[in-house]
Chain A
Amino acid sequence: DTGVSQDPRHKITKRGQNVTFRCDPISEHNRLYWYRQTLGQGPEFLTYFQNEAQLEKSRLLSDRFSAERPKGSFSTLEIQRTEQGDSAMYLCASSLGEREVNQPQHFGDGTRLSIL
């Protein structure tokens, strides 16, 4: 069990640029989640995949944000035309299950995004 892996750990970019983050879940986990955490706050849900299907998106996920999970393995989160307010820690989590909603989510170490 190698855990959830996120890349890069840190990203600094200028306002208006596009950025893409990658998440590799625990290999046998079929569910993958993205959360955003701003300083001093708890994580907030962004979106969720079961296998390759994106099943839920938060209203926080504006049209500048897009997430994919091709082939139901790794996932990418892209932010286009970044804004100052996008500065945050982006956390990925994965879990196992079909009907069992109580399987705990395992988190990666996150990608910290800083917008200059």
Chain B
Amino acid sequence: AQSVTQLGSHVSVSEGALVLLRCNYSSSVPPYLFWYVQYPNQGLQLLLKYTTGATLVKGINGFEAEFKKSETSFHLTKPSAHMSDAAEYFCALQGAQKLVFGQGTRLTINP
């Protein structure tokens, strides 16, 4: 079975600090991996995706993620946090047609 685990349900960083949100996955086939962001009372917005090829993936709003097969990880980073980054972040794995999501990480930015 495929699964996604996000380490840390809540991450708090200062404005301008590095953002690191952790995601580990389990999959018996080569994974397609995604990060989505969700603002309050809204749907999910795609930040970035990994399918094949380059393991360092750049997304919108300055976010990037690195696929590490040996560690079964797909951590999300941003060099400098901005107040507007405060939101819920979800890592997801594409299983056949459906997405399998982690439980989410709430990111809080301190001024």
Residues of A at the B interface (CB closer than 8 Å) are 4, 6, 31, 33, 35, 40-45, 48, 50, 55-56, 58, 91, 93, 101-102, 104-110, 112
Q: Which residues of B contact A45 (CB under 8 A)?
A: 98-100
Complex Cα–Cα for A31 and B99 (A)? 13
B41 with A56: CB separation less than 8 A? no
Tell me, rounded to whole Å, the shortest Cβ–Cβ distance linking A14 to chain B.
Answer: 23
Other A-B pairs beyond A40-B103, A104-B49, A105-B46, 6, CB < 8 Å: A42-B4, A44-B101, A56-B96, A93-B99, A107-B43, A107-B45
* Chain B, interface residues (CB within 8 Å), range: 20 to 34
A101 with B103: CB separation less than 8 A? no
Complex Cα–Cα for A108 and B104 (A)? 18
Which B residues, 53 to 111, have Cβ-Cβ distances below 8 Å to chain A? 90, 92, 94, 96-104
